[in-house]
Amino acid sequence: MTAAREAIALPLTFLTVALLGGLRISDRVALLPPPLFALVLSVLLLALLVRCGALAPDRLMHPSRSMLANLNGLVVVVAVFLATAQAFNAATPDSGVPRVLVNVVFLLLLANTMAASPDRVRALRSLLVVFGSAFVVKFVVLSALSNPPQGVVTRAIQMLFEGVTLGTVTQDVLHPVSGYVAFFTLMLYLFGLVLLGGHSRARPERELRSGNSQR
């Protein structure tokens, strides 16, 4: 990894994600810090990234590196942690039953991915699917259910839906630009993970086992 990437590109990328992940635009602009559960998920995802080789802490901080280089590495690790928490914050619905469900699904998917011990590429593909699905749920499905209805039929269906779900599914209406900001944030986060580089090869255990048996 070049010095410019480690000292400038990665911190700026992840800090931007940390900034935009909490941005909520409605009738006013708010910057929401990550909830506690997002921090828990962030720790889990960091562990997953280390295990799959996408994040290599020993390449960022090591006694053989200079103090300045280690400080750059520390900034990257902290920025990745904050960005991960805010990426979960951006992709999670803000209230109600969907918030709880999406959090539980995140937890299960991360645990499942950790148990599968994927390599770096597969782990990143998996994260793309996880965050992409959460984005669609929050900004497409729930947003459509929560936006003020245009016609009489739509209004009737929405009222019926709210009645059946006791209003626990609908969310606060967000400004349309919120979805675009969240999309950009999540893409930037995944781009940052790709930029991290990690170890050149972290072969899955299954392949390693089969390789050994062939020998």
Shorter beta-carbon distance to other proteins: residue 68 or 144: 68
Tell me the closest approach of the beta carbon of residue 100 to other proteins, in angstroms: 25
> Which CA distances in Å does 198 have to 58, 108, 151, 194, 208?
10, 25, 52, 9, 19
Asked whether position 177 contacts other proteins by CB under 8 A, the answer is no
Considering only residues 108 through 167, tell me which ones interact with other proteins, judged by CB under 8 A. Answer: none
> Which CA distances in Å does 177 have to 174, 188, 206, 212?
8, 16, 44, 52
Q: Which of 38, 49, 53, 72 is the binder for other proteins (CB under 8 A)?
A: 72
Burial class (CB in 10 A: 0-12, 13-18, 19+), 58: exposed
Asked whether position 6 contacts other proteins by CB under 8 A, the answer is yes
- Dist CA 38 CA 134 (whole Å): 14
Could you give the string, one character per residue 51-70, with x where binding to other proteins holds by CB under 8 A and - elsewhere? ---------------x-xx-
Asked whether position 87 contacts other proteins by CB under 8 A, the answer is no
Tell me the closest approach of the beta carbon of residue 25 to other proteins, in angstroms: 11
Segment interacting with other proteins (CB under 8 A) among 9-17, 104-112, 135-143, 185-193: 9-17
Could you give the string, one character per residue 29-48, with x where binding to other proteins holds by CB under 8 A and - elsewhere? xxx-x---------------
Output the CA angle 161-167-169, nearest 5 degrees: 80
Shorter beta-carbon distance to other proteins: residue 3 or 173: 3
Shorter beta-carbon distance to other proteins: residue 94 or 162: 94
At residue 31, φ and ψ (nearest 5 deg) are -115, 110
Q: Which of 26, 62, 71, 210 is the binder for other proteins (CB under 8 A)?
A: 71
24: β partners: 30
Asked whether position 92 contacts other proteins by CB under 8 A, the answer is no
Q: Look at the block and give the residue holding tokens 């459509």.
A: 144
Q: Give the binding site for other proteins (CB under 8 A).
A: 3-4, 6-8, 11-12, 15, 18-19, 22, 28-31, 33, 66, 68-69, 71-72, 75, 79
